[in-house]
Amino acid sequence: MENLVGMFGEFYEGRRVLVTGHTGFKGAWLCLWLRLLGARVSGFSLPPPTHPSLYELLEPADFEHERIADVRNFDALAQTLRQTQPEVVFHLAAQSLVRRSYREPLETFVVNALGTAHLLEALRQMESPAAVVVVTSDKCYENQGWDYGYREGDPLGGHDVYSMSKGAAELVTQAWRRSFFETHPALGPVASARAGNVIGGGDYAEDRLIPDCVRALIQERPIGIRNPAATRPWQHVLDCLSGYLWLGARLAQGGRPNPLATAFNFGPGPLANVPVQQVVELFLQHWPGQWQRLQETAPPKEAPLLNLTIDKAVRLLDWQPVWNLDDAVAHTARWYYQRHVARHPQMAAWSREQIHQYCADAAARGAAWTRA
């Protein structure tokens, strides 16, 4: 099959969709999937943050409108919104690296918090009816080191600037929603989405586990691990994106008042909350190599435990993850192996086929968004 327009209740076919942060890892995957769904995709973002990247595999024809600009530039963002008149907005533009937040704390706060305010204020001023999904992070919660998962009503916060900035983006979203979007009949619904540690092909960011694995294996050296016992909720990028897409479709069709205009966790099943070491060892089953522990002097503080509870998404959206941890790591390793070892000449097409495989697996499991 060439497209997937029947998914998500055929909602995205012909729809105008704006993705901020479309040159990033998750943003590029989201744009690929939206095109397969028949959407008219526009993008607003800085240039791709890394080379190589997934975005560089996309074609200009994948976008109806594209602007390379900064969410800190309110006028550029507002102009793009007026030009594209989106029906759905996925806000992914962000400074997404914890360690960079220690080097660039002000940039991190302004991009993540003020950038979100810029988007919502621009939509408010133009009285846009668009449904908006603001993507933040599982790190928006005040991490107490609990064994059990965080729920959407738990306190926001964070020891580091990155986590605080994501909590601030959630508070910005909540404040604009309550102050303006819920009360103005011309404005559309606004929700936020919090995902766990996302893995998948095409991520080349610094200081992230899987990209670090890939760089080491390409150079035929041991993979360095800083905190092998640190536990995180690992999930494939397509799992969290299926949640974003389903939330966006349901949000846009929900009417007023909209019970889905709120915050949602999109995380993996409980068996995917595992230590860093286990993820690396699973990856090495598909791309053989070695790992070693790194010793650091005065490393930045990192929480040893972080889990999410997805009960709300299950209850209100009938959403659940499709690929378990073994699947997620296997599909991730295969993507990088195809690009960097097998030298596949058409990685964009290969990536689209991975989306098709994910959707087929989701349909086999009876995922609500495949039969809507």
Going from the N-terminus, what domains does the chain have, and what CATH number goes with each? Answer: 7-203+236-269+308-324+346-370 (3.40.50.720)
What residue type is assigned to position 340 of the chain? H
What is the predicted pLDDT for the residue at 301? 63
pLDDT at position 256 is 85
Q: How does pLDDT run across 246-300, given as a tens digit for each residue?
A: 999 999 999 889 999 999 999 998 888 899 999 999 999 999 999 999 886 666 6
The pLDDT value given to residue 271: 81
Average pLDDT for the chain? 94
DSSP class per residue in 319-342: ----S-HHHHHHHHHHHHHHHHTS
Query: What CA–CA distances, in Å, run from 33 to 6, 318, 342, 371?
Result: 13, 20, 24, 17
Distance of CA 295 to the CA centre of its chain: 30
Quote the percentage of the chain above a pLDDT of 70: 97
> Are 95 and 162 within 8 A, CB to CB?
yes
Tell how far CA 356 is from the center of its chain: 19
Determine the Cα–Cα distance for residues 213 and 205; give it in Å rounded to an integer.
Answer: 11
